[in-house]
Chain A
Amino acid sequence: MAANPRELDAAIAVTRFGLGAQPGEIAAARPDPRGWLKAQIRPSGAETFDTGGETSAVRLAEFRAYRRARVMAESADGGGADPAEAVRRFVRENAVGDVQNRIRLALQSPAGFRERWALFWANHFTVSAVRIQVATLVGPYENEAIRPRVFGRFADLLAAAETHPAMLLYLDQAQSVGPNSRAARVRNRAGAGRPAGLNENLAREILELHTVGIDGGYTQADVTEFARALTGLSLARPDEPATADPVVFRAPAHEPGGRTVMGRHYPDSGEAQATAILADLASHPQTARFVCRKIARHFVADDPPPALTARLEAAWLASGGDLARVAEALVDAPEAWDARPSKFKTPYEFVVSSYRALGGAPRGPQVSQALNTLGQRPFGAPSPKGWPDDAAPWAASDALVKRMQVAQALGAAAGPRVAEPASLAEAALGARLTPASAAAIRRAESRAEAVALLLMTPEFQRR
């Protein structure tokens, strides 16, 4: 296929860097594909989505109040509705709107690269609604901690994510207490309830998933030391006076003493001790390497060219972890413009790009239902590692059959609105549309079938 290189670059800019083409988008990128992408990088970060105006502080207070009320109602009448089920319903009703608004943002955004960049970081710093306590906080967390900082310094993004109430709850930090702290001594002497102590979950995942990575050169001792340094970082209890920010530092729960993490010593400075460790982890060269490879893997290929990772790493190190510079380096890297579509879309990417291509707004929970079927429930990543980003887990045979069913349903719904399937395909894929796919779409026996075929072509399934 001898496509004009700029035609091809325009299609790559919109479909690989972005979230898939809306009608006319590839044409808009054509004059200057790289400039079109770079114009989406801005200091204020990515757009936030509507959470009904509710912050994480409000949501946390609501959740706690509701749960308390349900439990009290249960003990008062000694039966009736299952309070746990009622709490789950409350959470669902709160979170469902967030999910829909986040999807709407992805469908309508004229800056698909910016939105994809934000989604990458939200997945990197995953907080999953799988834990009921945080289910209503995931949306506000993404808006408050992640989205405003995705083109800022990595150190600031890291600090905001790790100290957000949603993360403190999700990775159990809120309850962690220094074993030799004043709080532990008092509580354990009183002998009431279970003994207070350390929980190393957040410390481990920061090292393994968010900063230096599993091969970053840390040991179990580093995990434990970091967990000790983090003690004190917690949430206000429901019985404490409400403040705008539910995050508190409890000096009495902080493990006393200096700490050594990855060969560096941190004197006991209370709250500042963990802050200093986080800052050092952010600027660790291993963090640059680990995270840049992950960016390259997300944008270009499951096994990205080392030269690409090296370019991103150089931009990261030269700028002190300025993510706007890293994003620019990605756009400038020749390896990122490889003509082959080698990334298989995740279900979220597939569904979002389908709606973007077809136009029109989905009704109510349609999109969430499709994503549930395809195994990627929004805000529901199975673990702190987030959603997988490579083809193998998503390209299972069953997954492909389910995608076909989703494509059929979308084709049936959108088909009648489509004037000319061939031009729809051209607008969706530009120069990436292969002659074989174009021919198959032309030969379809109905508009519905043509649309389903388009969404299932090898090139639309990839980016």
Chain B
Amino acid sequence: MSDTPAVSVNHLTKVFKGTLVKGAFRAVHDLSLTVKAGEVYGLIGPNGSGKSTTMKVILGLLKPTEGDTSIFGVPSTEVASRSDVGFLPENPYFYKHLNGRETLHFYGSLCGMRGAKLKERASEMLALTGLEDAATRRVGGYSKGMLQRLGLAQALIHEPRLLVLDEPTAGVDPAGSRKIRDLIIEFRSRGITVLVTSHLLEQMQEVCDRVGIMAHGRMVREGRLEDLIAVENQTEMVIENASPALLAQIDALVKAAGSDTRLLRSGHPRTTLERLFLEATNEAKKS
């Protein structure tokens, strides 16, 4: 796999111009992050933390006030940077008058695909997202979960190397949500890089290799998930076949004990991503 990062954000600042009534608004402040090729990167943060703005800058929908972003080494300001990206916005809507298959043909055609290859790929994507039965139904009659899956299908239609998913499970029922989670895991196994935002932190914990936590437009924590959720000032011991007495004098006994009593693992106990998220965003609020 290439060393070129899938996504690179360097000292990004985005300020929205104010009006006569409202002043300027700084949505993102000096943000830097890198998403390596082939990993699943979760960008999490409370509403208004700047996640969607960051994604829009990465996709070239917004221009940075300062700093720059690139996709596989190509600056986001160039249209060519979008050749390798599939994007699923939050609560996507598509042209209601088209059916599912026509929608995929439309997006594939925009990417320069045509003919048998496009038809084959559209069928493949409908099968992957479980929409084969609804392929000829107008999109206007799709449920929220179906729209989300159609959004995933259109994002994947041109075989991108990077998927950008903004709240992919928002408003989707638990079964649909699990399906999307499984798809993300499958994308990773196929070598597709995924940049995802979600409020469902348990799911993020299940699928992400690395996460970045944003609050008030800044990155407040970033790193490998395993490292981030480790509690540095505590030690966890997992003991097999421990007696109550042994538990009472645990340190001494473990050292002294022989025979069947073994120290299987020693390290830092894990908190949950949810707790870490709340702590991190509260710290940012206080400061």
- A and B: partners? no
